[in-house]
């Protein structure tokens, strides 16, 4: 893959909801830390808070309050419940209840990551004064018109089945002949992109495969896993050629530089730049304050864009490993970042919103709204005219990059649309889902000229 909501993106499980940024701007607890001592009651509370965070993000604060109260019943000791509850109470003007909720955060976890923001909001409540008459809330803008829905029978070209767990990552080889997928079933798979034939099942990782990337010469596939390793595979034989260790935490994202001389891996709050030929580490990009969820090279390979749980998009110098600038800061985790093939526009997503920015200045060009739930995957078409987005809402949408308008909604998956990728010729879109399948859509067949 991944607002106050959580990123299940590309297979993030409930344990990773502890990596929330949201209203509280939280840092990252690493997956290994999060998994210890999780009770069924805590798992249930996390599930409910996931839904509460989505409601909070879309402005449905009453629903968020109702869900948080349900999470209290499941596990009264989960501090993040009270963090969201306090925020929702504050948004609805219930200041006394907000104070109680924020103080509960302090009592439950006095040294935890939520405390700083809870204290900040308490100070805000203490210095604010009620107005003589309550100011009516601003009128909500009407939702944008729904784009046409693809007719599945006409435009769904093929469904690839075989994975026994959710599909977390999809990518076409640069020559368009292969399609690679990564899954919660701990395998990656190589498919014939034209026929859908399974060519190789790449087994060896001991945990979910969350990221896949082809080398520019098509001969190598990199896979990143929750087992903290990156493996390099020969695409012809399906055999492992190298294993890159030292990431420390789950590898959530991978990308080859255009010249194939650098492989970037996002793991924990750090990005590592590797020499894929030798397997040696070239640079560590240190600066994110939460897990890195997405990486993307500029077309000339000189810069790398990264995004993650600390609600930022950062741009780095690949040669020196130095941070050039922060392109964006949001109120919630930035789940994915993508760059147009000409390098002029950077897309990122946080919650259900997608932003298009000028890559050089960082100026906001468009905010794309239409998904009701978190967007967790982005991909530009090869000509840069279309943007595909995958979401918790089980749909994929296609957007006009120039105008920022929604064009089509692809319905067909039975669960989260966690990954998207265009074929190099732009005629096919692959979408991977938590329903264990990959859909191949005939995109150009229905787009306007």
pLDDT of residue 366: 96
pLDDT of residue 9: 39
3-class SS string, the chain = CCCCCCCCHHHCCHHHHHHCCHHHCCCCCCHHHHCCCCCHHHHHHHHHHHHHHHHHHCCCHHHHHHHHHHHHHHCCCCHHHHHHHHHHHHHCCCHHHHHHHHHHHHHHCCCCCCHHHHHHHHHHHHHCCCCCCCCCCCCCCCCCCCCCECCHHHHEEEEECCCCCCEEEEEECCCCCEEEEEECCCEEEEEECCCCCEEEEEECCCCCEEEEEECCCCCEEEEEECCCCEEEEECCCCCEEEEECCCCCCEEEEEECCCCCCEEEEECCEEEEEECCCCEEEEEEECCCCCEEEEEECCCCCEEEEEECCCEEEEEECCCCCEEEEEEECCCCCCEEEECCCCCEEEEEECCEEEEEECCCCCEEEEECCCCCCEEEEEECCCCCEEEEEECCCEEEEEECCCCCEEEEEECCCCCEEEEEECCCCCEEEEEECCCCEEEEECCCCCCC
What string of pLDDT tens digits covers the 449 residues of the chain? 433 333 433 333 443 443 343 444 333 333 333 334 568 888 888 888 888 888 888 889 999 999 998 888 888 888 888 988 988 998 898 988 888 888 888 888 777 767 777 777 777 776 443 433 444 555 666 666 777 776 555 688 899 999 999 999 999 999 999 999 999 999 999 999 999 999 999 999 999 999 999 999 999 999 999 999 999 999 999 999 999 998 888 999 999 999 999 999 999 889 999 999 999 999 999 999 888 999 999 999 999 999 998 889 999 999 999 999 888 676 678 999 999 999 999 999 998 999 999 998 889 999 999 999 999 999 999 999 999 999 999 999 999 999 999 999 999 999 999 999 999 999 999 999 999 999 999 987 555 54
pTM tops 0.85 = no
Domain annotation for the chain: domains and CATH numbers: 39-127 (1.25.40.10), 152-442 (2.130.10.10)
């Amino acid at each position: 893959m991944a607002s106050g909501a959580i990123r299940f993106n590309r297979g993030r499980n409930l344990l990773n909801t502890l990596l929330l940024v949201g209203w509280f701007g939280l840092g990252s607890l690493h997956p290994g830390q999060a998994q210890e001592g999780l009770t069924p009651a805590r798992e249930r509370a996390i599930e409910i808070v996931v839904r509460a965070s989505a409601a909070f993000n879309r402005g449905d604060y009453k629903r968020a309050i109702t869900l948080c109260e349900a999470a209290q019943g499941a596990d009264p000791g989960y501090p993040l419940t009270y963090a969201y509850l306090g925020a929702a109470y504050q948004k609805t003007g219930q200041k006394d209840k907000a104070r109680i909720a924020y103080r509960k955060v302090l009592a439950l976890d006095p040294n935890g990551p939520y405390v700083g923001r809870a204290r900040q909001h308490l100070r805000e409540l203490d210095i604010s004064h009620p107005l003589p008459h309550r100011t009516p809330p601003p009128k909500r803008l009407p939702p944008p018109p729904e784009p046409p829905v693809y007719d599945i029978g006409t435009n769904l070209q093929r469904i690839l089945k075989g994975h026994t767990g959710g599909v977390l990552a999809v990518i076409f080889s640069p020559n368009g002949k292969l399609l690679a997928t990564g899954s919660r079933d701990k395998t990656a798979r190589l498919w014939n992109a034209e026929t859908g034939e399974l060519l190789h099942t790449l087994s060896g990782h001991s945990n979910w495969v969350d990221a896949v990337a082809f080398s520019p010469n098509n001969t190598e596939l990199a896979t990143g896993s929750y087992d903290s390793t990156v493996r390099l595979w020969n695409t012809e034989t399906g055999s492992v050629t190298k294993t890159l260790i030292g990431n420390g935490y789950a590898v959530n994202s991978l990308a080859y530089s255009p010249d194939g001389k650098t492989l970037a891996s996002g793991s924990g709050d750090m990005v590592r730049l590797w020499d894929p030929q030798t397997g040696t580490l070239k640079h560590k990009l240190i600066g994110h304050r939460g897990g890195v969820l997405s990486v993307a090279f500029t077309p000339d390979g000189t810069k790398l864009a990264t995004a993650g749980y600390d609600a930022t998009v950062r741009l780095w110098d690949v040669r020196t490993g130095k941070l050039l600038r922060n392109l964006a800061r949001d109120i919630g985790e930035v789940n994915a970042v993508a760059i147009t093939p000409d390098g002029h526009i950077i897309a990122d997503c946080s919650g259900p919103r997608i932003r298009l920015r000028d890559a050089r200045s960082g100026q906001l060009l468009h905010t794309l709204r239409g998904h009701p739930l978190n967007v967790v995957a982005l991909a530009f078409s090869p000509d840069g005219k279309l943007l595909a987005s995958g979401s918790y809402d089980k749909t994929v949408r296609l957007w006009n990059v120039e105008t920022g308008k929604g064009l089509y909604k692809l319905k067909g998956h039975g669960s989260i649309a966690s990954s998207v990728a265009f074929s190099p010729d732009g005629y096919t879109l692959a979408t991977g889902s938590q329903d264990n399948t990959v859909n191949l859509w005939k995109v150009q067949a229905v787009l306007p000229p």
